[in-house]
Amino acid sequence: MRIPGADKAVENLIKWSAKEEWSFFREQVFAEHFDMICDRFDTTKEELADLLGDSFGMVFGCVLEDFFAARFGDKGDNIIDDYLKRRGWREKIPAKRYLAAIRDSILSLYEVVDLDPGRSMTVRDLILGGDTITVEEKLGSESAARWDRIAGRIVTVNKKVYFTGSLLLFPQEVADEVLSGIEEMVESLGKKLRKEAKKQGEPADFKDRDLREMFLHASARLFTRTWLIATLNRASEPLPEVRNTDGDELVFSEARFPITGELASVIAGLDATDEFDRDDPDELRWIWLGQGSPSKRASRGKSHTFKTEDDAGKTEDDAGRTILGNIELDKDALVLSTNSRERADRGRELLLGRFDGLLGQPLTSHQTLEKVLEERSDSAPVQSELPPEVAEQAIHSYLETHYRQALDDPLPYFDGKTPRQAARTKKGRVQVIRWLKKLENTEARRAAGQEQQPYDFQWMWREMKVDDARR
């Protein structure tokens, strides 16, 4: 925070909130945000904090700021008013102005339309509308991507515009659900107020923006609850059921058979067995081949299927036989690798039956897909063998070819129309703009993660004749 004394003033305000006269109201606000979530997911705030990690600090900050802006009782008592009246003398003038701005702020949903990394971000209020706003934001502008949807509070202090301390990043689909829900609730609020005004014989001229501001002043928990539900649902989603072409659950298995006979006899036996194929005579590696069509096996169920690949990246041989596993001779052992327990058992029986006296009983290990992904996420990222600039150019070249073709391909997203066709209608234009924003946002985040420049989508906006929506 670049407002002199602001961080210290917020710390002092948090301490003030622990006073007996305010702690009850603070707990009340926190309960409004968290209790429904804790009941729904059968958890506690402490467990939520452990699960969400650093992200919990942001949602906690949003709830705290809602408490700072809330008014209680018939008189509309507010903690910032109370603090400034009784202890404001010890805060710097800019810090007092910052606290007063938080008191009067509302939490809204913004779309990032431009970035000056390390300095500022330009946003559009998706609920209140109006002109774009350029906000001084160092950290946020470094981590944000164009077309991000973020919930936050904007304040003006000494003629400069800032976000307060807490921002919540919303996936585009979740943000769309929030916006749709707010539209319905604002419309309902307007009808109720007009009906009540008519009963009282008072004017019922409520402006749309006034209704939206009225709704937002009382609805910060809508954002935190929706964000928490979406985040927790995503965290608790099981991996999709993945099976190989035999319909077996995907489990990476390795069986190590000690070689108890002559190595030459094992090699000769592998070469002489129809199920085993060695492409390279100089390598002690074989492919274990099955019979029949992989597509027929995969059609037995509707789960995701996984085809075992050999070192050349093939999933079947030239005759269309499924690759069931791989065999490699390693020092004093024969190693069989498969992608299911069932195939590991079949391979064990096959090898022990064919190589009686040459191989001993194997030691077998199994590893689930979840465990493999967990270990990979904890390990250091794999470095590309390509120079960064070459890798970037290759990705951009691929995307260029892909999207040039995509503009003329019928897509389910556009009800079977091509993007060019969809852009010619009013409804389709809205869909095309949303589609392009999603593509550009996803690419920006991918490129940032790989420390590359993102692919430039400007030409697509121009070709669809919707580039006015990008400015």
Using alpha carbons, select from 304, 347, 302 the residue that is nearest to residue 324: 347
> In the structure encoding, which two tokens stand for residue 338, read together?
């498969």
Q: CB–CB of 212/127 below 8 Å?
A: yes
What whole-number distance in Å separates Cα of residue 141 and Cα of residue 414?
Answer: 32
What whole-number distance in Å separates Cα of residue 63 and Cα of residue 238?
Answer: 29
Whether the pLDDT of residue 280 is over 90: the answer is: no
In the structure, what pLDDT confidence band is assigned to residue 374 with cuts at 50, 70 and 90? Answer: low
pLDDT at 294: 42
List 363's β-bridge partners, or say none: 256
Does this model's pTM top 0.75? My answer is no
| β-pairing verdict for 323-330 and 304-306 | unpaired
Whether the pLDDT of residue 366 is over 60: the answer is: yes
What whole-number distance in Å separates Cα of residue 361 and Cα of residue 257?
Answer: 6
Whether the pLDDT of residue 65 is over 70: the answer is: yes
> In the structure encoding, which two tokens stand for residue 298, read together?
């995969």
In the structure, what pLDDT confidence band is assigned to residue 432 with cuts at 50, 70 and 90? Answer: very high
Return the percentage of the chain with pLDDT > 70, whole number: 89
What whole-number distance in Å separates Cα of residue 183 and Cα of residue 384?
Answer: 47
In the structure, what pLDDT confidence band is assigned to residue 25 with cuts at 50, 70 and 90? Answer: very high
Using alpha carbons, select from 76, 6, 167 the residue that is nearest to residue 14: 6
pLDDT at 260: 93
Token pair 């006296």 in the structure block, residue: 357
> In the structure encoding, which two tokens stand for residue 190, read together?
């307007």
List Cβ neighbours of 465 (8 Å cut-off, separation of 6 or more). Answer: 423
Using alpha carbons, select from 335, 372, 373 the residue that is nearest to residue 255: 335
In the structure, what pLDDT confidence band is assigned to residue 391 with cuts at 50, 70 and 90? Answer: confident
Rounded mean pLDDT of 69-95? 95
In the structure, what pLDDT confidence band is assigned to residue 399 with cuts at 50, 70 and 90? Answer: confident
Amino acid at 378: D
pLDDT at 205: 76
DSSP 369-397: HHHHHHHHHHSPPPPPSS-HHHHHHHHHH
For residue 278, the Cα-to-chain-centroid distance in whole angstroms is 43
Lowest model confidence (mean pLDDT) among 48-52, 204-208, 318-322: 318-322
pLDDT at 316: 52
Summarize the chain as % helix, strand, coil (round to 5): 50, 20, 30
Lowest model confidence (mean pLDDT) among 4-8, 170-174, 205-209, 405-409: 205-209
For the chain, domains (ranges, CATH) are 6-173 (2.40.50.140), 242-378 (no CATH), 388-470 (no CATH)
For residue 9, the Cα-to-chain-centroid distance in whole angstroms is 34
Rounded mean pLDDT of 271-293? 84
**Average pLDDT of the residues of the chain:** 86
Whether the pLDDT of residue 412 is over 90: the answer is: no
Whether the pLDDT of residue 13 is over 90: the answer is: yes
List 368's β-bridge partners, or say none: 251
What is the sign, positive or negative, of the torsion defined by CA atoms of 367, 372, 378, 381? positive
> In the structure encoding, which two tokens stand for residue 395, read together?
């990705």
pLDDT at 64: 96
What whole-number distance in Å separates Cα of residue 452 and Cα of residue 393?
Answer: 10
Using alpha carbons, select from 116, 100, 161 the residue that is nearest to residue 135: 161
Lowest model confidence (mean pLDDT) among 141-155, 157-171, 278-292: 278-292
